[in-house]
Amino acid sequence: MLRNLFCFVLLIILSSCQLNATHIAGGHITYEFQNFNSDSTQATYSIKVTMFRDVSSSGATFDNDAAFGLYSKTETSSWEHDKTIYQNPGVVDKVLISDPSCLHGLDYEKASYEWIVTLDIDGSDYLIAYQRCCRTPSLTNIINPSETGIALQVEITEESVLTGNSSPALSQDPSFLTCISSPIDWNTGLSDQENDELVYSFCTPLNGGGPMGNNSGCCDCIRPDPDICLPDFENILYGQGYSKEEPFLCEPKIEIDSNTGEVSGTPIEIGLYQYGICVEEYRSGVLMSRLYFDNQTVVQDCGSGEIDSSLVPFIYLDSDGDQYGSFDISMRSCIVLAGYANNADDCDDNNFRINPGAVEIPDNDIDENCDGIITHGVNLDSLELNLFPNPSLSHIFIGVELIGIKILIYDMQGKIIIEDFYSSEGIDVNALSTGVYYLQVIEDGGNRNWFDRFLKV
Per-residue model confidence as pLDDT tens digits over 199-219: 999 999 999 999 887 666 789
Amino acid 305: pLDDT = 45
Distances (CA, A) of 307 to 99, 144, 180, 304: 9, 34, 14, 8
Note every long-range contact of 189-193, with CB atoms under 8 Å and residues 24 or more positions apart, other chains counting: 190/261, 190/279, 192/166, 192/167, 192/168, 192/281, 193/166, 193/169
d(CA 292, CA 205): 8
Length of the chain: 457
Flag whether the pTM goes above 0.75: no
CATH number for the 380-456 domain, one of 2.60.40.3080, 3.20.20.60, 3.40.50.150, 3.50.50.60? 2.60.40.3080
Cis check: omega of the bond before 389, within 30 degrees of 0: yes
Amino acid 135: pLDDT = 92
Amino acid 4: pLDDT = 41
Instruction: Identify whether the C-beta of residue 121 lies closer than 8 Å to the C-beta of residue 39.
Output: no
Domain boundaries, the chain: 20-300, 313-376, 380-456
Q: Which residues of the chain have pLDDT under 70?
A: 1-22, 57-59, 97-105, 214-216, 303-312, 333-335, 360-364, 375-385, 399-403, 443-449
Instruction: Identify whether the C-beta of residue 118 lies closer than 8 Å to the C-beta of residue 40.
Output: no
Amino acid 12: pLDDT = 36
What is the end-to-end Cα distance of the chain in Å, rounded?
63
d(CA 442, CA 423): 14
d(CA 123, CA 125): 7
Backbone angles phi, psi at 119, to 5 degrees: -110, 135
